[in-house]
Amino acid sequence: MQTTPALERIEDWLIREALGAPDIARMFAGTCQRLRDAEVPVDRSLLTWATLHPLIEAESALWMPETDVQYEAYSHREEDTDEWLRSPIRAVLIGDESRLRRKLAGGNSEFDFPLCRDLAGQGFTDYLVILTSFHLPFSIEGVKRTGIIVSWATKAEGGFTDDQMNAIDYIQLRLALACQASIQRRIAENIARTYLGERAGQQVLSGRIRHGDGAEIDAVIFYCDLRDSTRLAEEPGPDAYLKRLNAYFDATAGAVTQAGGEILDFIGDAVLAAFPTDNGGFEAAAQQAITAVDAVFERLSAINTGEEEPLRCGLALSAGKVMFGNIGIADRLTFSVIGQTVNTAARMEALTKELGCSVLITADIAQIIAREIQSAGCHTLAGFFEPVELFRFR
């Protein structure tokens, strides 16, 4: 097609956006507004794209003139809603054609989708859906192609002209290229946060991926281990046990993240987490850790209601310096914390079984919490030359 200076300016702007780290919704809004300025009468447009995220299946951005772009995330669903099943976007996504057009005014109007009738009632005259496919590093069950889908609607008399349709095609291809780079970056960030945690994920994405990269930080270490895990694994069978194990992690690890901590590792059925002191100091980190401890037992109590085999755990808090960085071998690394503080927490948790308590904390944490505590005695922990006094909740 014959391009115009206005379209070339939009293309140049999209290239510059793609070279940065754009917010997809804002970039999309800028594209739509620039198309209107180029005399392409877009009055409503919706951008939809799939993503790779443990909670989110797809995302969208809805744009209309003189309003803020509306971003929405769609969670994974066990069953499709009726609205989605009757959606023109779904029809394009699962079909063989990459585009769908419906005239919404005049004698040749087509209302085979409920959305088309709704848009016609709002004064729209033309509706167009275009899928621009590109490779994403994952597949979607039942979907042949991945990429972006954009719907374009206008209230202009007679709908879009052929030249305007060509302009939309031209710009959407460039928009897809910019979106591809942004979506892949977002997927990388999602994977890093999900599998490594917020802090570790940021470290890896910032380039600290060499064997031995790391730094010393001060933190309160949280270590929690499931009790009677062998018996729980054997009695109900593997499927039921996995469901119970995930419920246990929701209670324990979920309490940590809610309190502001960071999950560092799942060691079998143990949770290793940290509350770094770099934001509010040691006292704030310790209070966050105690908040997490309280939430763990509240959540477990709710889960255990009506259960013949309740989930129980031992939990320990220690504080001090830890090494936060890459450990492993050069071509297979994990980002975690190591050091005496971590070892102390693990050995303290093991002592909870011997002492018949659920929680043990070190003296420095015990001194600052507003809670009745009592000494659990002095104990010799591996790595310490002198016995260490530990404390338990009353």
Domain holding 313, by residue range, is 204-393
- What is the number of residues in the chain? 394
**pLDDT > 90 in the chain, percent:** 48
Count of domains for the chain: 2
pLDDT at 235: 65
Percentage of residues in the chain having pLDDT higher than 70:
87
323 and 248 share one domain: yes
Question: Which residue, among 305, 288, 309, has the nearest Cα to 226 in the 3D structure?
Answer: 309
Q: Are residues 9 and 154 in the same domain?
A: yes
Tell me, yes or no, whether 188 and 212 share the same domain. Answer: no
Judged against a pLDDT cut of 90, whether residue 154 lies above it is answered with: yes
Task: Check whether residue 34 and residue 162 sit in a common domain.
Answer: yes
Whichever domain contains 105, its CATH number is: 3.30.450.80
> Which whole number is the average pLDDT over 83-92?
87
As a whole number of angstroms, the distance between CA 270 and CA 93 comes to 42
Q: Is the pLDDT of residue 1 over 70?
A: no
Instruction: Say whether pTM exceeds 0.85.
Output: no
Same domain, 218 and 118: no
Res 208 pLDDT > 60: no
365 plus 255 within the same structural domain? yes
What pLDDT band is residue 152 in, cutting at 50, 70 and 90? very high
Residue of 149 and 385 predicted with greater confidence: 149
More confident residue, 317 or 381: 317
Least confident of 1-10, 210-219, 288-297: 210-219
First to last CA, the chain: 78
Same domain, 149 and 16: yes
Q: Does residue 375 share a domain with residue 315? A: yes
Out of 60-69, 226-235, 238-247, the most confident range is 60-69
> Tens digit of pLDDT for each residue in 345-379?
999 999 999 898 999 999 999 988 777 888 899 98
**Domain-ending residue, one of 195, 222, 256:** 195
**What's the CATH code of the domain at 301?**
3.30.70.1230
Mean pLDDT for all residues in the chain: 86
Q: What tokens does 363 get? A: 């003296």
Whether the CA torsion 188, 190, 193, 194 is positive or negative: it is negative
Phi and psi dihedrals of 359, rounded to 5?
-135, 135
Per-residue pLDDT of 14-53, as tens digits, reads 999 989 888 999 999 999 999 999 999 999 999 998 887 7
Residue 189, pLDDT above cutoff 90? no
211/186 same-domain check: no
pLDDT of residue 213: 63
Out of 162, 195, 228, pick the residue that ends a domain: 195
Q: 216 vs 89, which has greater pLDDT?
A: 89
pLDDT band (50, 70, 90) for residue 103: very high
Question: Which residue has better confidence, 108 or 272?
Answer: 272
Looking at the fold, whether 223 and 182 belong to one and the same domain comes out as: no
The angle subtended at Cα 42 by Cα 98 and Cα 75, nearest 5°, is 60
Evaluate if residue 127 carries a pLDDT over 90: yes
Higher pLDDT, 207 or 326: 326
pLDDT band of residue 243 (cuts 50, 70, 90) is confident
Q: What is the pLDDT of residue 266?
A: 87
For the cut 90, the answer to whether the pLDDT of residue 77 exceeds it is: no
| Domain boundary, last residue among 161, 195, 229 | 195
Domain shared by 225 and 185, yes or no: no
Does residue 163 sit in the same domain as residue 283?
A: no
Average pLDDT over residues 195-213: 62
pLDDT grade, residue 338 (50/70/90)?
A: confident
Higher model confidence: residue 119 or residue 143?
119
